[in-house]
A and B are shown apart, each in its own frame.
Chain A
Amino acid sequence: MRPLGPLVLALALGGAAREGVARADPAPPSTPAALPVRVAQLALEKGVVKLTVGYRDVVDAEIARKLESGLPTVVTMRGYLFREAGGDPIALTARTCRIVYDLWDEVFRIELAQPGGASTAVAVNVEGVLRNCAEARKLPLVDGALLAAGARYFVATLVEVNPVSQEMLDRIKRWVTRPSGASAIGPGDSLFGSFVGLFVARIGDADRKLAFRTQAFLPPAPAP
């Protein structure tokens, strides 16, 4: 395998804080080539390959209702670049969108973090939220110089709504496994332990997930 230049290419410093980092499913898909195919546009701009793809279907009726709950909803997207010939992912891009409905101003307040930095927006309806948070437009993917001419690639994408961080997941499971004040009746038959066991295994790591891959593509040529 050919050595790559810089191991890590920082395309942007978003200034994103650690707080609220979402990490529900941190690993890339194990069988990315088998994911359903969704058409995406790849373009080379200023030496960087950029991805444009939509995933509006991640917001179903239930998620749309949650958007209006007045509590935060987070939509995360990860795109893993694979060689079509197989192997580990060779690049990753990601974006996160946090939406809160303002009860009194009756608008959706949106915080977006993606390569290029963090930004805020306001949407007056769910359509505006989808436009900002369920479409990746010209999302920086990888330095074009890192792609081999003639080789074919594809992007495997994971989209999650309200992913639960591993830390939060652990905290939840510990909390509900041994709630404050619960005492054991005897060895092995904790009143809560037996019952909570029915519940904790069902704690999902996200409200909704979507996984797909793009069509295979050759390294895009620069725009004329």
Chain B
Amino acid sequence: MSLRLRLGLLGALAVALPAGVSAADEPPAAAPTASQRLRYTLEDIEIRGNGRTAARVILRHVPFHAGDVLDVGDPEIELARYRLLGTGFFSSVSMSLRRGGRRGAAVLVIEVTERNTLVVQNLWFGIAADEDTAGNAKPLSGFLGLEAAETNLAGTGIALGAGIAVAAQQLALRAHVEDPAFAGTTWSGLFSVVYADARDFFGSRAVIWESPQLGAAQASDYAIVAYQRYGGTLGTGHALGLFSQLGLDYHLEQIDAIVPTAASHLRGDTREPIDFAIHPGKSLLSTLRASLTYDSRDLPFLPRRGTLASAAITAGVPPLGSDYGYARVELSGQRWWELPWKHVLHASAFVGGIAGSAPFFEKFYIGDFTDLIPDRVLDLTPDRRQPPNLLGTSIIEERFGDFAAKIDLEYRVPIFTGKRAIYGIDAFVSGGLWGVAAARDLTSPPSGYTGLRRIPVDLTYNVGVRLDTALGGATIAFSNLLGLIPAGTTVQH
């Protein structure tokens, strides 16, 4: 067992350590004395090297103004340097003082080196699969998604981004503009637009469906809903403290859906009509969303300690024109622990529920909970497979649900730590229990299941490596391969 001796507390500057006791100490503090506490009257702030970035964008992160009395030991000076680096606009920031025009005055000089601010935020690619009711694989199809943003548009500090996702007969587009300090306030402003020309797949087994607009009567393993979505979001965010963030969004979109005129499938042992959870033809979705996030992670991509928790409520509001009235509540929590031997343990939990009639793409999708099926790419669901059903439960009947929960544990082993192009490579293995259920499952569970098999839950697992690099974070996971289904690699930047 090791003990930590803190010199500052002991007041000792040299210590002898007993055998078997390891030292983990701090050097004595050279606290500034009165004579060392140099203070100047700040005459001006001079910015150098900002070819593109407006000076006001830089000064937004500097809590000093001409006329202030500047204590050279004020930690805000160093924090301001890191704040500027944290914008991502600069590859280096240095601060210094030079003499002012009269004795006791000084000019704060901020020298920046600008960097490329066009960044790839997300990149997905993989292979979506299908299988028949006997579990035989059907032809595969690829999918690709990309999100990129210019985070310092014309040097204004405003971000402009766009995304595209392409899958078999599906397309999704997104664009957004965000000002982290909207109108000079501490609130951010966000405007985004979405477009999707997509399709989704419904039905468990022995699906029979008819859709004159999509062709003649079909007998396949799934019924298809083709739909278009176009709309936009206005949002804002505000930091409530060092760790907490409030987000508020209003979203409005129009949906144009082609829904089968008739469709049924075997739900358990009983043939039942399929509920597509969307209005045929044109409909309007109008939602308000509020979220509260607590984030004390030490790093965003490969955290070693800290907590990330969030609570969000989304409501479809008919008085604001929505054809879908519902409320969705989501609660999630994640925590990371660094173990004494430097490995990392990560636990996460999620629970969510929907009351009312939400469109299917607002419901909980199985791919977002199991690692063995690709998750959504810009809201597209390219994969048509049913859940793997490792526990043999009624989860096989689910695709979109009104209730969802998941608990998951991940164990990470750092295998490389660097300071240059690659900052860290961690191997990981994870496993969890998840469940998705429709509201109807509570009142009328699918027939043919008895005992615990009526509970729609399943296991998930994953193994792979996570890389934190100069180009972004990437996860290379092998869950689909482990699931004996050919699949690709998902990379997130």
Q: Footprint of B on A, CB under 8 Å?
A: 1-4, 6-23, 26-28, 68-72, 74, 76-78, 80, 87-98, 100, 102-104, 109, 111-116, 118, 120, 139-143, 146, 168, 170-185, 188-204
Q: CB-CB < 8 A to A179: which residues of B?
A: 83, 86-87, 180, 239
Q: Report the Cα distance A104→B100, complex, angstroms.
A: 9
Q: CB-CB < 8 A to A90: which residues of B?
A: 16-17, 19
Select one of B5, B14, B79 contacting A140, CB under 8 A.
Answer: B14
What are 9 pairs between A and B in contact, CB < 8 Å? A21-B8, A69-B95, A89-B17, A92-B14, A111-B30, A140-B13, A183-B245, A184-B291, A201-B301
Q: Report the Cα distance A142→B38, complex, angstroms.
A: 36
How many Å from the CB of B46 to the closest CB on chain A?
13
Select one of A71, A72, A141, A198 contacting B88, CB under 8 A.
Answer: A198
Q: Is the beta-carbon distance between B86 and A176 smaller than 8 angstroms?
A: yes
Q: Is the beta-carbon distance between A16 and B8 smaller than 8 angstroms?
A: yes
Contact flag A177-B300 (CB < 8 Å), given A92-B25, A185-B192: yes
Q: Is the beta-carbon distance between B16 and A9 smaller than 8 angstroms?
A: yes
Q: CB-CB < 8 A to A199: which residues of B?
A: 85-86, 88
Q: Report the Cα distance A144→B246, complex, angstroms.
A: 60
Select one of B23, B238, B297 contacting A181, CB under 8 A.
Answer: B238
Among B70-78, B129-137, B262-270, the one that faces the other chain is: B70-78
Select one of B16, B36, B470 contacting A6, CB under 8 A.
Answer: B16
Q: Is the beta-carbon distance between B13 and A197 smaller than 8 angstroms?
A: no
Interface centre among B14, B18, B122, B299 (most CB of A within 10 A): B14
Select one of B35, B176, B300 contacting A196, CB under 8 A.
Answer: B300
Q: Is the beta-carbon distance between A103 and B188 smaller than 8 angstroms?
A: no
Select one of B28, B77, B300 contacting A113, CB under 8 A.
Answer: B28
Q: Is the beta-carbon distance between A100 and B36 smaller than 8 angstroms?
A: yes
Q: Report the Cα distance A176→B78, complex, angstroms.
A: 13
How many Å from the CB of A13 to the closest CB on chain B?
5
- B22 and chain A: residue at smallest CB distance: A88
Q: Is the beta-carbon distance between A7 and B18 smaller than 8 angstroms?
A: yes
Is B7 an interface position by the 8 A CB rule? yes
Q: Is the beta-carbon distance between A20 and B99 smaller than 8 angstroms?
A: no
Q: CB-CB < 8 A to B24: which residues of A?
A: 26-28
Contact flag A189-B7 (CB < 8 Å), given A94-B25, A143-B16: no
Q: Report the Cα distance A70→B473, complex, angstroms.
A: 37
Q: Is the beta-carbon distance between B77 and A1 smaller than 8 angstroms?
A: no
Q: Report the Cα distance A113→B97, complex, angstroms.
A: 25
Is B10 an interface position by the 8 A CB rule? yes
Q: Report the Cα distance A187→B35, complex, angstroms.
A: 51
Q: Report the Cα distance A13→B180, complex, angstroms.
A: 49
Select one of B99, B176, B493 contacting A185, CB under 8 A.
Answer: B176
Q: Is the beta-carbon distance between B30 and A118 smaller than 8 angstroms?
A: yes
In the complex, chain B residues 80-113 whose Cβ is within 8 Å of any chain A Cβ: 82-83, 85-88, 94-99, 103-104, 106
Q: Is the beta-carbon distance between B25 and A1 smaller than 8 angstroms?
A: no
How many Å from the CB of B325 to the closest CB on chain A?
23
Select one of B20, B98, B472 contacting A1, CB under 8 A.
Answer: B20
Q: Report the Cα distance A55→B67, complex, angstroms.
A: 40
Contact flag A93-B470 (CB < 8 Å), given A21-B8, A88-B23, A179-B180: no
Q: CB-CB < 8 A to B491: which residues of A?
A: none
Given contacts A113-B29, A170-B298, 4 further A-B pairs with CB under 8 A are A10-B11, A10-B12, A100-B36, A118-B33
How many Å from the CB of A175 to the closest CB on chain B?
6
Is B374 an interface position by the 8 A CB rule? no
How many Å from the CB of B27 to the closest CB on chain A?
4
- B422 and chain A: residue at smallest CB distance: A201
- A168 and chain B: residue at smallest CB distance: B75
Q: Is the beta-carbon distance between A16 and B149 smaller than 8 angstroms?
A: no
For the complex of A and B, the 5 pairs showing the least CB-CB separation, nearest first, are: A183-B237, A176-B86, A70-B97, A69-B96, A98-B30
How many Å from the CB of A147 to the closest CB on chain B?
10
Q: Report the Cα distance A1→B40, complex, angstroms.
A: 56
Is B287 an interface position by the 8 A CB rule? no
Q: CB-CB < 8 A to B95: which residues of A?
A: 69, 71
Q: Report the Cα distance A140→B75, complex, angstroms.
A: 31
Select one of B30, B99, B185 contacting A112, CB under 8 A.
Answer: B30
Q: Report the Cα distance A89→B79, complex, angstroms.
A: 35
